[in-house]
Structure 1
Amino acid sequence: MTIKVLVVDDSNFFRRRVSEIINASPYLEVIATANNGKEAIDMVVKHKPDVITMDVEMPVMDGITAVQKIMDLVPTPILMFSSLTHQGASATLDALDAGACDFLPKKFEDIARDKQEAITLLQQRIQMIARRRVQRVPEKKSGLVKPVANVATTINPTLSRLQPKNDGHEVAIKSTATHRNKASGKSYNVLAIGTSTGGPVALQKILTALPQNFKLPIVLVQHMPGTFTKAFSERLNSNCKITVKEAETGDILKPGCAYLAPGGKQMLIAANGQIKIHEGNEALNYKPSVDITFASLAKSYTNKVLAIILTGMGADGRDGARLLKSKGSEIWAQDEASCVVYGMPQAVTKAGIATESIALDQVAKRILVELKHE
C-alpha cells in the first residue's frame, strides 16, 4: 500500500521536481498538488493524504497559516520546505510550532553530497513521518503547539540505513525500562539532551518547564542547519526561564544555562566545562552529532551526566550514550508513543542502554524529581 502525498508549493518547477522524486519510490505516490495554502486545505479535505510537503512562503495563504488550519481540520503529518536563511529558519520554526513534523531545505544540495543522496533522504523523511497521527495541542504557558504522535511507524526496507535494525515490518519494541516517580539518589554535574526529527517542539516543551534557578548546565544537540540553530536558540531563550544560547568556543558551562550545538559543526565539552566548537570530520553523517558530544562528556564528566535521547531518525546518540553508561552516567529515552520518529530513542532502549522510557509531557517533571529541585 503506497503512502499518499500532497505537494504544496507556488513554484510549478518545484512542485514538478518534488513530485518526480516522490513518485520514483515504490512506496510513495503524489495524489494531488496545490500552489498555495488555501488550495492545500481544499485538497486535504478532498483527498485526505497521508503526508503533505509544504512550502513556507506562498501567495494567497502562506504555509504557516495553512499548517494551523490543516491541524485544526484534518491533522496530517507535514514536511516543510524552507530557505536556509535566518528569516526562513524563523518561519519554519513557526510552522513546527503550528504542528508540522519536520523540515528540509528547498535547495537539496544543502542537505546531501550528491543528487541521489538528496532523493533518498526526501523519500525516507516522508516515509518516516507517514504513519504518525498528529493532533494540534496548544500549550497553555508558552503558546507553543505540540504535535502528538501515537501510532507506530511502518518501516520499509529502504529505511534500514537510517533506522535501527528490526523485523522489517513494524517498530513495536516494548521498552523494558521502568519509569520512577522518585529520585535515584545519583548526583549530576550536567544535563545532556540529544534529538533530531521532532526535536524542536520536544525541546521547547521540556526547557520551558524548567525553573530559572535550574541546578545544572544543559548541553543540547539538535540535528539542524547552522542558520536554524541560531534562530532556534534565540527563540528558546525568549520563551524559557533559563538562559539558552548557541554554543561558542570558550563558553564555560554554568547552571541554569543551556548551550545548543551550532549546526554544521561538532561540540566538545572539556573537564573544566569549557566548550570547543570545531568543523569535525566531513565523513560524519551528523553535524552536530549527539555521539560526538556525548563521548566528550563521558571523558570529561564520567558518571556525573544525566543524558536524554529524544525523538529522531536514525541511531545517533546510541554509541555516545553507551560510553556514558559505561562510566556510570544515567541514560533516559523518550517513549515511542510521544515520538514523531522513534529511531534514536529506540536505538538506546533496544540496546539496553536507557534505564527509563518517558512520555514527552513527563520528561521535565521527571528531571526535576531526579534532581530534587525545589
Structure 2
Amino acid sequence: MTIRVLVVDDSSFFRRRVSEILNQDPNIEVIGTANNGKEAVEKAAELRPSVITMDIEMPVLDGISAVKQIMQQTPTPILMFSSLTHDGASATLDALDAGALDFLPKKFEDIARDKEEATKVLQQKVREIGRRRVSGFRPSRVAATPSTASRIASERTTTSSLRQPDRSFSQRAPVTDTRNTGTSERPKASGKQYKLMAIGTSTGGPVALQKVLTQLPANFPHPILLIQHMPGAFTPAFAQRLDTLCKIKVKEAENGDLLKPGVAYLAPGGKQMLVEGRSGSQKLKIYEDDSPRVTYKPSVDITFASAAKSYGDAVLAIVLTGMGADGRDGARLLKQAGSKIWAQDEASCVVYGMPQAVASAGLSEKSIALADVAKHINTEIGCG
C-alpha cells in the first residue's frame, strides 16, 4: 500500500527537498504540500494523507497548534522536523504531547553521517509511522499552555513548557490483539527481589515514558535507568520535563553518578551509559562512542549488558515502543543472569520493532499495554 504524504514547511526549498527524497521510495507518494499550519489543517482534511511531515516554526499557525487541530479534526500520523536547540527540543516535546508520533532534526547532516543514510532514515520513519492509524484525542487533566513555537515567534515571556507541557491531545493506536489490551489482566507480584529497573525505548518513547513514570510513587525503592533514542540537544529538556511532572526525581545522567533509590537517570543523547561497580556502590559511566558499528547512541543493548554484569538477577528491564531491535541482545544477557524482561504489547506501540524483537526471541515474560505498565511495575516492585 502506498503511503501518501503531506509535506508542511514555510521554506519552499525544504518542501521540495523532502518531497524529492520521499518520492524516491516506490512505496511513498507526496500528494501535497503546505506552507503554514493553517494550510496544513485544511489540506489534511481535504487530502486525507497517510502521514504528515510538519515544521514547528511557521507563519499564520505554528506546527504545534496545527498538530493539535489535526489530531482533533482528522487524526493523522505526524513526523515533526526540529532544530537541535533547547527551544527546538522543548517545542518538539510539546508537539509529541500534542499527538505527533516522531521527529527528526531539520538539518539532514544531523540525521546521519552522509546524505544517503539520512535519506534512508527519513524514508524509513515515514514508512513506519505510516503503518499506524491514529484516532481520537484525550483531553488532559493538565491545563494547556501556549506552545513553544508560539512563544518563540512572539518572543513573549511565559511559563516554560518544561514546567507545564501541553498534553491536551494524545494519539491512540488501534487495538489489534484483544488478549493484550490491558483491560482485564490483574497484575500479580512474582515475589522476586530487585535492585534496579531499566527501561529502553525509541519511536514513541517520550510520550510512553511520561505515561509510565508519572504513575510511580515518590518512594520508589530502586534506581531507574532510562535509555531513549534521542539527540543530545533534547535529553536535558526531556529530563527536566519529566522531573517536573513525576513524583520521583528524574535527571540527565552524568559521569560518576551514584545510583540512588527513587531517581531515574536518562542517558544523554549521543553518548553511552554504563553501570559500573557492585554490592550497592554502583555508579554510572557516561562516555563518547565513536564506533561506526554502534548504531544507537545511547544504546539499550549497551546499558542493559552493563546492568546484567553489575546487578545480575536483580533487574526488572522493560522494552517499550521503538523502531529496530536495540535491546534484544542486552535483554538476552539480563535474562541469562536471571533478571526479568517485560515488553510493551503491539496494540499500544507506535512502532512494535523493539518490543517485538525481545518478544520474538522468547526473552520477555509479559507483553503489557502501555496504560498498564506502571500498574504492573508498582505491583511487582511492591509499591503499588
**Partners of 1:230 and 1:273 in 2: how far apart?**
23
Which residue is 1:91 aligned to?
91
Kindly state the Cα deviation for residue 372 of structure 1 after the two structures are TM-superposed.
1.3
Which residue is 1:353 aligned to?
363
**Partners of 2:139 and 2:299 in 1: how far apart?**
31
Kindly state the Cα deviation for residue 36 of structure 1 after the two structures are TM-superposed.
0.4
Which residue is 2:205 aligned to?
199
Which residue is 2:159 aligned to?
none
Kindly state the Cα deviation for residue 150 of structure 1 after the two structures are TM-superposed.
1.9
Indicate if the aligned counterparts of 2:9 and 2:54 stay in contact, CA closer than 8 A: yes
Kindly state the Cα deviation for residue 186 of structure 1 after the two structures are TM-superposed.
0.4
User: How do 1:6-21 residues align onto structure 2 when only pairs under 5 Å count?
Assistant: 6-21=6-21
Q: Secondary structure at the match of 1:227?
A: coil
| Structure 2: unaligned runs, 5 residues or longer | 144-165
Indicate if the aligned counterparts of 2:202 and 2:228 stay in contact, CA closer than 8 A: yes
Which residue is 1:329 aligned to?
339
Q: Secondary structure at the match of 1:150?
A: coil
**Partners of 1:216 and 1:68 in 2: how far apart?**
37
Indicate if the aligned counterparts of 1:195 and 1:310 stay in contact, CA closer than 8 A: yes
Which residue is 1:260 aligned to?
266
Q: Secondary structure at the match of 1:138?
A: coil
**Partners of 1:275 and 1:61 in 2: how far apart?**
43
| Structure 1: unaligned runs, 5 residues or longer | 153-171
Q: TM-score, normalising length from structure 1?
A: 0.92
**Partners of 1:229 and 1:184 in 2: how far apart?**
33
Please say if 1:276 is aligned against 2:277: no
**Partners of 1:139 and 1:246 in 2: how far apart?**
26
Which residue is 2:39 aligned to?
39
Q: Secondary structure at the match of 1:32?
A: strand
How many pairs were matched up?
Answer: 354
Which residue is 2:161 aligned to?
none
**Partners of 2:303 and 2:346 in 1: how far apart?**
24
Residue 46 of structure 1 aligns with an amino acid whose one-letter code is E
Q: Secondary structure at the match of 2:104?
A: strand
Question: Relative to structure 2, which stretch is displaced further, 212-221 or 325-334?
Answer: 212-221
User: How do 1:7-156 residues align onto structure 2 when only pairs under 5 Å count?
Assistant: 7-135=7-135, 136-140=137-141, 144=167, 145-150=169-174
Kindly state the Cα deviation for residue 267 of structure 1 after the two structures are TM-superposed.
0.2
**Partners of 2:289 and 2:82 in 1: how far apart?**
25
**Partners of 1:139 and 1:293 in 2: how far apart?**
33
**Partners of 1:279 and 1:179 in 2: how far apart?**
42
Residue 49 of structure 1 aligns with an amino acid whose one-letter code is P
344, 363, 369: which one aligns with 2:354: 344
Q: TM-score, normalising length from structure 2?
A: 0.89
In angstroms, what is the RMSD of aligned CA positions?
1.8
Kindly state the Cα deviation for residue 250 of structure 1 after the two structures are TM-superposed.
1.0
**Partners of 1:252 and 1:56 in 2: how far apart?**
38
Please say if 1:370 is aligned against 2:380: yes
Please say if 1:313 is aligned against 2:337: no
**Partners of 1:138 and 1:188 in 2: how far apart?**
36
Indicate if the aligned counterparts of 1:82 and 1:92 stay in contact, CA closer than 8 A: yes
Q: Per-residue displacement from partner, 1:130-163 (whole Å, max 9, x unpaired)?
A: 02112322343586343222277xxxxxxxxxxx
Residues 78/205 of structure 1: CA separation in 2 closer, same or farther (3 Å cut): same
